[in-house]
Amino acid sequence: MIFKSIRSKIILWYMLVLALTLFVFSLVLYHNLNKSLYRNIDDLLRSRAEGVISSIDTYWETEKLEIAKDGGKEAVYSKINNEHFAQLAQDWVDEKSTDPALVNITVQIYDINGRNIASSQNIPESPNFKKNIADLLLTRKAHYDTFDIALPDAKPLRLRTMTMPEFENGRIAYLVQVGSPLTSISASLNRLQAILFILLPLTVFLTGIVGAFLAKKTLSPVDEMIATIHQITAENLKQKIGIPRTNDEIQRLAETFNDMLDRLADSFTTQQQFIQDLSHELKTPLTVIKGELEVTLKKLRSPADYETVLISSLEEIDKLTRLTENLLMLARMENKEIVLEKKPVDLNVLIAGIADDLRILAEQKQVRLEYEPRPQVNIMADPAQLRRVFLNLLDNAIKYTPSGGRVCINLEPVPDRVRIAVSDTGVGIPANELKNIFHRFYRSEKTGSDIGFGLGLSIANSIILALHGSIEVNSAVGKGSTFTVILPLSSQL
Ligand SMILES: Nc1ncnc2c1ncn2[C@@H]1O[C@H](COP(=O)(O)OP(=O)(O)OP(=O)(O)O)[C@@H](O)[C@H]1O
Ligand SMILES: [Mg+2]
């Protein structure tokens, strides 16, 4: 389905947001233009109404002088309900209706009874003109209005009017009503409406197309990645996905994915290597036992011969038993099946005990084992597992140190931790092998492969990790090695 691709989702959201934004923008634009066009026409109407009033009043002042000259009475000076004034107003309108300032402006004048006393030419009849006159005579305030007037054989004409009272001694003398057709405003607004109506969907549509193109271009590496990932199986974990040089999340995703493939390939290789190593380890003693038993069975042997063969077979079986025990231990450790005990252990006592146990072994090899006891160093740990760690380290140190050499154990508390270093003056480990010695079954070729299984350090390492500690090694070929274990003190466990 189309909505299942990120591309279409992004574009659809984008188009929706754009459409909404443009819609709101158009509404605001239309509303503001509408308001400002009306404000303009209202300003124009007000200025025209004021112009008409001032011009008529000037006419009337001159007319009053004429009347006075002719001996007219004071009473006729008032514009209120004055027929003379009505005539003057109509004359003024007739004369001025062609004035350029009044082009497209209708002018009508009403007396205080609401009677139309003057009207510019060509104003179609409509009751709407007089609609608000009565109200206005009461409120005495200028008034705007918009209405349609029917035209014969044409669309109704929309008109905006302004009616303004003129006062005489605080009383309304007459009302001037000016009006202007809204044809041009309506045309402008309709044009804007049409443009927006076409432009808005068109913009959204075009943006959608451009967006789709850009999204396709941006996301095309993802499609390629998907295609490559489809081809990756357990057998070809070495295959990599192409890294797009886009310097963005997609590049980082591809790099992270390749890193993950590397790690998977490593762990796959480790697993396969483990199975191979294990088969090899199991095969050697089994072959030895089988060979010896077969040879022995070929003819009748003396009891002493049988005993020799049985002893040798027993040694091989012991080896196999140790191997399986070690492997089981390692597997349980890695699967976190072994729950480490946590009880106070005095490291000084523990290490001194191990050193005493191994001293005989060391002396047999003419290696000096040195440990200078320290005051109490208490940590929270599993004593049996800790013993296993130091037994393995000391076993290695003694095993890989030629006679006449020396093995030292050094216990040293450091802030929050304790450091135990086991150093020897043995054969050392080549620098390029240091990273491998903690791997299962790894044995340096230099030290020979028949001395051990290559499991001691893996076991020690997994125990130390489970105790939240760390183990490091420093070594120089021919000079010796130092294995340093760092363990947290009681408070941190
Ligand atoms: N103190 C040391 N001096 C020199 N090489 C060492 C020392 N400790 C470990 N190694 C090297 O690291 C390898 C791995 O050690 P590890 O204890 O895991 O295995 P191992 O001693 O060979 O066998 P296992 O401990 O299972 O009987 C050893 O085979 C040896 O080559
Ligand atoms: Mg060992």
The residues whose Cβ lies within 5 A of ligand 2, an ion, are 396, 452, 456
Length of the chain: 493
Proximal ligand: closest to the CA of 458: 1
pTM: 0.56
Pocket test for ligand 1, best of 457, 482, 484 (most atoms within 8 A of CB): 457
CB-count exposure of residue 97 (10 Å: 0-12, 13-18, 19+): middle
CB-count exposure of residue 338 (10 Å: 0-12, 13-18, 19+): middle
Say what the pLDDT of residue 479 is.
95
Proximal ligand: closest to the CA of 448: 1
Say what the pLDDT of residue 491 is.
44
- Digit-coded pLDDT (tens) for 389-432: 999 999 999 999 999 999 999 999 888 899 999 999 999 999 99
Say what the pLDDT of residue 493 is.
41
Residues with CB under 6 A from ligand 1: 392, 396-397, 400, 424, 426-429, 437, 442-444, 447, 451-458, 481
Q: Which residue has the tokens 């990120």?
A: 6
Say what the pLDDT of residue 469 is.
93
Proximal ligand: closest to the CA of 322: 1
Say what the pLDDT of residue 409 is.
96
Pocket test for ligand 1, best of 367, 396, 473 (most atoms within 8 A of CB): 396
Mapping DSSP to helix (H, G, I), strand (E, B) and coil, where does residue 337 land?
A: coil
Say what the pLDDT of residue 207 is.
92
Report the distance separating Cα 488 and Cα 493, nearest Å: 7
Provide the CB-side half-sphere exposure for 381 (13 A, CA). Answer: 27
Q: Among candidates 299, 360, 347, which has minimal Cα distance to 469?
A: 347
219 residue type, one letter: L
Proximal ligand: closest to the CA of 438: 1
Atom of ligand 1 nearest to the CA of 442: 14
On whether the CB atoms of residues 238 and 265 are closer than 8 A, the answer is: yes
Query: 153 C-alpha to center of ligand 2: Å?
Result: 113
Q: How many CB atoms lie within 10 A of CB 321?
A: 10
Pocket test for ligand 1, best of 319, 326, 422, 437 (most atoms within 8 A of CB): 437
**Domains delineated in the chain:** 2-189 (3.30.450.20), 249-334 (1.10.287), 343-492 (3.30.565.10)
Query: 451 C-alpha to center of ligand 1: Å?
Result: 9
Say what the pLDDT of residue 217 is.
86
- The protein residue with its alpha carbon nearest to ligand 1, atom 31, reads 444
Report the distance separating Cα 295 and Cα 346, nearest Å: 53
Query: 346 C-alpha to center of ligand 1: Å?
Result: 27
Query: 457 C-alpha to center of ligand 2: Å?
Result: 6
| Residue ranges of the chain with per-residue pLDDT less than 70 | 1-3, 72-76, 447-450, 490-493
Report the distance separating Cα 123 and Cα 93, nearest Å: 12
Torsion of CA 379, 383, 386, 387, to 10 degrees: 130
Mapping DSSP to helix (H, G, I), strand (E, B) and coil, where does residue 436 land?
A: coil
Report the distance separating Cα 255 and Cα 240, nearest Å: 9
Residue 71: left if φ>0, alpha if ψ -120 to 50, beta else—which one? left
